[in-house]
């Protein structure tokens, strides 16, 4: 079984910076990076939704 306890440091998936394990912001080094990632994710989602709205104009 693979456990995280082997690693002392995590790498932020947003800025790729090493940071001490912190359950509050994991897997990001900070709240800011988690927002950045969420933003990127939402933007992609918005693009998809935009396409759907364009497809069925129900407004």
- What residues between 28 and 47 interact with Zn ion by CB under 5 A? 29, 33
What is the Cα–Cα distance from 59 to 53, expressed in whole angstroms? 9
- Sequence-distant (≥ 6) Cβ neighbours of residue 19 within 8 angstroms: 9, 10, 11, 12, 25, 29, 30
Nearer to Zn ion, 7 or 17 (CB): 17
For Zn ion, which is the closer residue by CB, 31 or 53?
31
Q: Min. distance of Cβ 22 from Zn ion in angstroms?
A: 11
Applying CB under 5 A, which residues contact Zn ion?
12, 14-15, 17, 29, 33
């Amino acid at each position: 079984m693979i456990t995280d306890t082997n690693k002392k440091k995590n790498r932020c998936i947003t800025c790729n910076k090493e940071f001490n394990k912190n359950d509050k912001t994991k897997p990001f080094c900070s709240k800011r990076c988690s927002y950045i990632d969420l933003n990127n994710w939402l933007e992609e989602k918005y693009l998809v939704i935009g396409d759907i709205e364009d497809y069925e104009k129900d407004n």
